[in-house]
Amino acid sequence: MPKQSVKDISHKDRTVLMRVDFNVPLDADGRIIDDRRIRMAIPTIEHVLKEGGRLVLMSHLGRPAGTGPEAAFSLKPVAERLDDLLGKHHGVRFATDCVGALARDGVNSIEPGDALVLENLRFHAGEKKNDPEFAASLAELADVYVNDAFGTAHRDHASMVGVPEHMSGKPHVAGLLLMKELEYLSSAITEAKAPFYAVLGGAKVSDKLGAIRYLLDKVDVILVGGAMAYTFLSSQGHVIGKSLVEEDMIEIAGQLLQAAQDKGKKILLPEDHQCSTSLDDLEGVRNCELGIPPDCMGLDIGPETARAWKEEISKAKTVVWNGPLGVFEKPPFDRGSRAVAEGIADATKHHAVSIVGGGETAAAIESFDMAKRFSHISTGGGASLKMLEGVSFRSVELLDEA
């Protein structure tokens, strides 16, 4: 069912508790490497602040032990970056805890039109455990609950599920970013225009098994690259050298290929590969056709496959992409992903809907400086993959219906 958004209710003089995904990468000195997730939340944040709401932001960062504060995972640098991004019109404060007296004092200190960033939720074990007492402590801080954290929407944690459950009778609405994610990763897929293509990469078939099974009933063609392609090729009896393969998934991969054939769908596998003896042996990079030499491993789709897939994918009217097709972080093994990205961008230019899953795929697109050439790039890798599996989220179900 469609959900209410922050635009459907008033925030004036209300305290608004918003779950955001500020899980940004930090360097060894605690400096933010990439602030994209903060920037993506700005439209929802500014909407609440401009209406005169008192905004309380909560998020996790990294993987602390859950036994108390850890300086390396503090959200203070995030609060400082948000303050810079919002500029002089809105103040941003920081609370050194997310519950208890420090959090309550922080909430009481902010004026309408200002924001407070709470300290890392995962400094408390109750966040991941969805502890009722911890959730209730967060819920008592505000009058309105906003979920704008698609990156953790698939996790039944306290801030995602327990808090709205404890705010009975108070509004529970979606942020603008979450609404956009749901529009593309749910509606655009269930109502996809043909031809519908899926590009799936990454290391393991087991990671994408649910998505492949779900998408086989919806797509026309699935292009399989990345290391997971070698498990499929092994199921066909091809020699793959030292390439990564999931031995326990070879039979299942073969079954998926047969299922696609039975349904009249196509699963395309690479027909040539960029290979080397190791990821570090750049002098020994060579193009291999099917039948990879025993001393080599496949590290990207080959140039012939890249050309063919670029042309093929440019025909799409709907395309989803989750998982890079090679070790894109290390040239020349970025060429396959780049070529397919260009093909998808061409399709988008001709009015296709293009959806890129988060995580490494989004990082690849950013590194190619092509983000503006796609319809939508998701902020959540794991969450976007779950949606490609057809999974529904309790955190979304709890939001008020439109």
User: What positions carry a catalytic annotation?
Assistant: 37, 204, 359, 382
Q: In Å, how far from its chain's centre is CA 79?
A: 22
The type of residue at 292 is: I
β-pair partners for 275: 286, 298
Do residues 233 and 297 make contact, with C-beta atoms less than 8 angstroms apart? no
The bridge status of strand 286-289 relative to strand 144-147 is unpaired
Among 255, 210, 211, CA closest to 232:
255
Among all chains, which residue has been given the structure tokens 């199921």? 235
β-pair partners for 16: 55, 144
Host H or E run for residue 83: helix 76-86
DSSP secondary structure string for all residues of 360-396: HHHHHHHHTT-GGGSSEE-S-HHHHHHHHTT---HHH
Among all chains, which residue has been given the structure tokens 């990469």? 201
User: Following CA atoms 58, 61, 65, 69 in sequence, which dihedral angle do they give, to the nearest 10 degrees?
Assistant: -60
